[in-house]
Each structure stands twice: as structure tokens, then as C-alpha cells.
Homo-oligomer: A and B are copies of this chain.
Amino acid sequence: MTFADMTPDRYPAILENASARSRFLLVCEHASHAIPGRWGDLGLPEELRQAHIAWDPGALGLSRGLARRLDAGLVHAPVSRLVYDCNRAPDQPGAMAERSEMHEIPGNRRLSPEERAARTAAIYAPFHADLRAEIVRRLAQGVPPVLVTIHSFTPVWHGKPRAVEFGIIHDHDPALALAVLEESRDSGLVCGLNEPYSAADDVTHTLRLQALPYGLANVMLEIRNDLIATPEAEEAMADRLAPILARALGSLAAPAMAG
């Protein structure tokens, strides 16, 4: 049998700027708070279904702003992380979380193995297959992409305010993260390396799955969401971060070109 025979509904990744010419490939796993009809409201009120537990507010707008400025491709997920968090492997508790921060998610309680498999097949597998397809298309053409995943985080977490504004996170290969940190010195942002989360919090799944096996330069970025709360703020943040990313990549590429 072929796999197409057993695939249920699929929610493919969305690609923007397919013909972009820079090496940057931006990824936004938590771009959408949409919950397709088959999953109803997951037992949550409208307000929570549009809150940060459902998506990363501002991350897609910022990503689009960066994609325009950097001439970068952008891949994003069309479904809320409340249904499946595409930055988590399917055997991790956060993939289909029963709880997020202080909120229970009734529709995710005691999921059957079949339902877990169905969501994984419908959302996670297509997202990562499509992202991989774009990565390997570029590799085959001799232009290895540079993977930048873009997230946002809340100013207050479990009641405590967070000082960090711009988090720069890496997995086993820290090169691009360190370069971004270096280039962010004069950004006016309170920067944190591996803050407010780190690989130990299981947040670098996409980097591990998509960048490390191919040796791609990669970094995960986290922006405090009060700084990208309006379209204007998203654009202003894109103005700040685009040159930082461009200089960081340049600083990585330079030694290889000289050597």
C-alpha cells in the first residue's frame, strides 16, 4: 500500500515568497490560532482560543515583515498549537497539551492513541514534510538555506514579569545564535541567550529535525509579544531585526569565504 491511502484530512504548510532569493528561510510554527471544525472549540471559550496559548501573537506579522526585508522564504503552519504544536515531537506532552500555563484544555484530555495519531498525520507530518521539501529543493539547487524560526512569548508568565525582550535560542549548533547575539548589542533590546526558553525546555524540535541533519545554519528567535502587538509594531520590530539577521549571517559566511 502507499501512504496516500491512509492519510486523513491534511493541513499543509503555507509557503510565502517562494521565489525569494536570499538564503534565509523563516519558519513560524505558531502562526495561526485557527481550529478546524472537526476539533470544535476544544472546550475553550473564544477568548482563550485567541490567546497566546493558541498561537504566538505577532509572530506571523513579524515574520512577513522580515521576509520582505530579507527577501526570504517563509513557511508557516495553518492550525493552532492547541490542536497540535508543530514544534513538538508527537511523543512529547506539549504536542497536544492537556494544559497550557494555568489553563486546562478539555478537548485534549486523555486523547486516545488513534486521535493522537490522527492529529499527527493531519497537522505535524504535512507541516514538516512541506518544510523539508522547501529545504531540500534549495539544497538540491546548491543553495543551503539558513533556518530561522520565529516565536513570541508573553510579558508575564505564571504571574511573573519577564525582562527579556529578544530571546536567541540554539540547539547543538550555536554558531548563528551567537552571531545574532553579537549583532544585537546595539539593538536597544534586552537580549537573552537561551531565554526565556532553551533546548532543555524541548523548544528546538524544528531545528533538530530540519536544520541539524543537513548542517544548516539555524537559530530560534523569541520576541516578547507586547513589542509586536500591532501591525505597526511588527513592522518596527522587523526594521530592527532584519539588519541584525543579515549582519549575523554575513559574519558567519565571511570566514568560510576567506578560508
Contacts and interface: CB of A to CB of B under 8 A. Distances in A.
B213 A139 contact: no
Interface in A109-149: 113-114, 116-117, 119-121, 124-125, 128-130, 132-134, 136-137, 139-142, 144
Nearest to A205: B213
Interface stretch (A13-21, A27-35, A154-162, A185-193): A13-21
A91 interface: yes
Q: Is the interface of A mostly helix, strand, loop or mixed?
A: helix
Interface residues of A, number: 44
A94 B129 CA distance: 22
Contact of A12 (B2, B117, B120, B130): B2
26 contacts: A1-B14, A1-B15, A1-B16, A1-B18, A3-B12, A3-B15, A3-B133, A4-B12, A89-B139, A89-B213, A91-B140, A91-B142, A91-B144, A95-B140, A113-B140, A116-B140, A116-B142, A117-B140, A117-B141, A120-B140, A121-B136, A121-B137, A125-B129, A129-B129, A208-B213, A213-B213
Interface of A: 1-4, 6-7, 12-16, 18, 89-91, 95, 113-114, 116-117, 119-121, 124-125, 128-130, 132-134, 136-137, 139-142, 144, 205, 208-209, 212-214
